[in-house]
Amino acid sequence: MRERLCHTCAAALLAIGLLADLSAFAAAQERHVQSEAAQQGATETKPRLTAKAIEAARHLAGKAGDILHRIPCLSPTGAGAVSMSLPRVVAKLRDGRPVVIVAFGSSSTQGYGSSSGSFTYPNRLAAQLRRKFPKSHITVLNRGIGGQEVPQMMARLQNDVLASHPDLVIWQLGTNAVVRGHDTSGIAALVEEGISRIQAEGADVVLIDPQYVPAVTAKPEGASRMVKLIRDIAKLRHAAVFPRFEVMRQWHENEKLPFDSFSISDGLHMNDWGYACFAQLLGDTIIKSVGNAQAEGVPPTVLSVRPK
């Protein structure tokens, strides 16, 4: 029942976001028609076209509203099960203090493939966390730029991430290098440096590995190597990992979902459902980490041991 209610809340917010976007379109369309009517004296066309735009907005919002009902977003099991230690985020949320989260990465952070800016994973995550922790002012900044690999991300780490003084950085990386077949020998040192700089600012770090989609699975050796590299770096630097590759593999292999149910036709980027479920599971994991810390009575001043 609780899971169904969570799905209902998520679906409602999805519908609201889409309706807002499309209502804005309808308003712009109305202004355009009014202008044309004034010039041509054809005022009778205004209500007819505006009504069609509004009806289209309502129709699409209704379709989007049941996105997680048409395909349930199930919690991963086994290797896909996730637990995180996020001491800074836990301390701030427990005290009701503001929390700044930076979503750092490439196109699947930016939201390529989603039908609306409201449906990107950072926006979905922000809505979920704000519902759960209404006493904290939660900001989720989208710092995704499509096509980038780790060297390009490192070049903007200071201005796009550290300058925002984040409490949590969710760093999605590795997919483009795998798909392009690029040499990854220097990635480990760069990612370690990036994590070290983020942690030096006191922020928690969550790494997101590549997505399980045809464009990635077509390079099995590269994908496996990248997933392992990210896991090993996280262990070394005492960062958390959200195993997106394994989670999405379970969607396809365990739940028997065809790739086109969670990715778009390019075989690489997620669709609205893919982003929605990914954000839901990531948010659930963050919420669980806060609950676990509270249950264990961990003092808010205690931080994870991190290598210097």
Q: Model confidence over 260-279: pLDDT tens digits? A: 999 999 999 999 999 999 99
Full-prediction pTM beyond 0.75? yes
Which whole number is the average pLDDT over 181-197? 96
Q: What is the pLDDT of residue 246?
A: 96
Q: Is the pLDDT of residue 3 over 90?
A: no
Other CB atoms within 10 Å distance of the CB of residue 261 = 15
Residue 103 has φ and ψ, to the nearest 5°, of -90, 110
pLDDT > 70? residue 77: yes
Q: Using pLDDT thresholds of 50, 70 and 90, give the confidence band for residue 291.
A: confident
pLDDT attached to residue 17: 45
Q: 1 pLDDT exceeds 90?
A: no
More confident residue, 136 or 19: 136
- Scan for tokens 């798909």, then name that residue: 179
Selected residue with higher pLDDT from 3 and 187: 187
Tell me the one-letter amino acid at 66. D
Q: Which residues pair with 103 in a beta bridge?
A: 142, 170
- Within its chain, how far is the Cα of 244 from the centroid? 11
* pLDDT at position 283 over 90: yes
What DSSP string runs through 153-192? Answer: HHHTHHHHTGGG--SEEEEE-SHHHHHHT---TTHHHHHH
Share of the chain above pLDDT 70, in %: 73
- Average per-residue pLDDT in the chain? 83
- For the segment 83-106, the average pLDDT, to the nearest whole number, is 95
- The predicted model gives 13-18 an average pLDDT of 44
Per-residue pLDDT for 66 more than 60? yes
Supply the Cα-derived Rg of the chain in whole angstroms.
Answer: 21
Question: What DSSP string runs through 2-37?
Answer: HHHHHHHHHHHHHHHHHHHHHHHHHHHHHHHHHHHH
Is 104 strand, coil or helix? Answer: strand
Model confidence at 78, in pLDDT bands (50, 70, 90)? confident
Say if residue 199's pLDDT is above 60.
yes
What is the Cα–Cα distance from 92 to 90, expressed in whole angstroms?
6
**Position 127 pLDDT exceeds 70:** yes
pLDDT, greater one: 35 or 281: 281
